[in-house]
Amino acid sequence: MMKNTLWDIQGTFVTVGERELDLVESWGLTHGASVTNDIMINVTENDTDYPVVQLSFGDLSSHDGTHPTEIGCHAGYYYKKTNMKGQRRSVENTMAECRERCVKTDGCDAFSWWKDGGCHLNTADQPERPIPPHWTKGFAGTLDGECGKEHEVKELDDESERAKHGEIWKHCPLLMYLDGKLIDISYTKETGYETGYLVGNETSDFSILMKDDRNVYVSYKVGVGEDGEDEYAVVRVMAEGDGPAEMWTCHWSVWVCIPNSYASTDLPSTTIGLLGSPDGDPFNDWMNPNGTVIAHDATKNHGTSIEYCHDNWCVPQGKSLMTYPGDTTYDDWKCEQHDYKDYTNNQTAKEECVVGAKHIEHHCQDTHSFYKTNCEYECCHGGPCIEKPVVDPDLILIKFNANQTVPDIIPDHRDCDGDIFYKTAKEVCTDTSEGIVELFHSSDNAPDIFVDSLIYGIILDAEINNDKNGKMVSFKINNSVDDANLYVKHYESYMETFLDPACDATFDSTVGCPDIANPSPDYEIACHEYDGMTSFATFTVFVESPNIANDNKVDDCCLADNPNPNQDNEQMGVHQYSFKILCECPAVDDA
């Protein structure tokens, strides 16, 4: 949206609704009208460490092209004659106000309202007729229907957004993120603001001020002017629109205020972005990301503008500042011609990255929100995996509790949720009639096991780590025995064609699905590959616990490779299970 040596400001644009698309096509647009739903602000000036600010509106749309005030209205129609006898056009801000005018007028029992504010009163005996396509959009309604009545706005779907959103302008649900964390400003809906400040105060180097229940000022101290006074860079965002879920829904207008000392530098002329540069020249505002001016014909239709935006100013993956709401990702918000790549996917990492998926996942797993996406992108392409600092909680001034903190967001890499386990033997190869894990031996008196939940988190043709070679498969084990140590005896590759025995251990293994902060380990084992056969691997699991009553022992090589520092003289029994697992999905005919 805009970038220079001081700021990187981005925005997301959402269409105004399916019905509106019908209208804008008549204007010559091919992709419809849009409004700015999210504004992301990052100060890039040297020697500053301010958080990335995101101001967003929660999604209250019905996703079916309808809008609350239009319920019960006949879109695209008006009455003939346009006005009932004795009445003329008036301007009303909303359909509800037009309906109210009809209620107060003797003989009126129908009305039409237009998006330019035009309100016309009618009687029930006047026939409807379609609005010409080049006219402003309008609606017809009657007093005995629902058109123009106030309708209750639904709650936000996301529980966290519902609990933490504030309110601005026409009941617009305001969401505020700092460095990817959703900040609780819910008190603003009920009590308003004593100081107006969401973050900081009038003496802070960084502050966010709400004013007039409509404008938000984000201020950054960037230096001291020639007069010795502190200088601030300020971004003002103003809430606009007809209210949540309406066609012209809640959206932002943006002003950028450059400090005096920057106005005399080359910052205005070197600013690039969708809206051009603030250098006073309106004829050089179409440019590419390199700042090269693009000539354009102002007589062409708006489709040219759409192409200009998409070709030059769509934000690529790895450069986005956005914190994606709910369980959405860049894939849900990107421009249609951009690709999304999940760099924690093994196959994608093998094709695209200089390091493997597990390496990327490990180094970026504790990085917060949108930084995680960028971290994964940078790791894939060889850049350092640098974690951004957590927002200083002392900056956040929440009413009644100035030091309220926001819980860290911990990525979930467990491959399970309660009693549900994912990537099991039957899930990773959906075209096969049987699972890809086979139990071919168990020790005497070992309890029966359900293979499909014991082995989970399976990754076929897994990434090769460390000095290993050849094809590998990885998986997790769902332990069901209290106070158990797990030993997995398997093979690891050596010089590509040879397999050596190896053993990995997990002491004090969690029973069932672990907590998010401590997921179960991945066991990575080498595969046997023979011509004409589906590649496979074999492994043996030893479950050792004082709760197992037998004299069985763990294989000596496993104990030698994995000395247990917590081993005591307590009697330990062992259950043993041996498995075969396929390293790739078999052909359907072979399943």
- Is residue 48 within 8 A of residue 220, CB to CB? The reply is yes
Please give the domain boundaries of the chain with CATH numbers for all domains. Answer: 2-65+154-313 (no CATH), 72-142 (3.50.4.10), 416-590 (no CATH)
Q: For the segment 353-378, what is each residue's pLDDT rounded down to a tens digit?
A: 877 787 788 778 766 666 777 788 88
pLDDT at 304: 62
pLDDT at 188: 64
pLDDT at 587: 75
Q: Which residue has the tokens 């359909």?
A: 95
- Is residue 576 within 8 A of residue 548, CB to CB? The reply is no
Which residue ranges in the chain fall short of pLDDT 50? 18-31, 298-299, 301-302, 386-409, 590-591
Spatial separation of the C-alpha atoms in residues 568 and 493, rounded to whole Å? 33
> Can you list the alpha helix ranges (DSSP code H) found in 264-366?
267-270, 303-313, 330-333, 346-352, 357-364
Residue 199: both structure tokens together: 């973050």
pLDDT at 87: 95
Phi and psi angles of residue 349, each rounded to the nearest 5 degrees, phi first: -65, -40
pLDDT at 495: 59
195: phi > 0 → left, psi -120 to 50 → alpha, else beta; which? alpha
Question: Buried b / exposed e across 156-188, counting CB within 10 Å, b at 16+?
Answer: bebeebeebbbbbbbebbbbbbbbbbbbbbbeb
pTM for the whole structure: 0.63
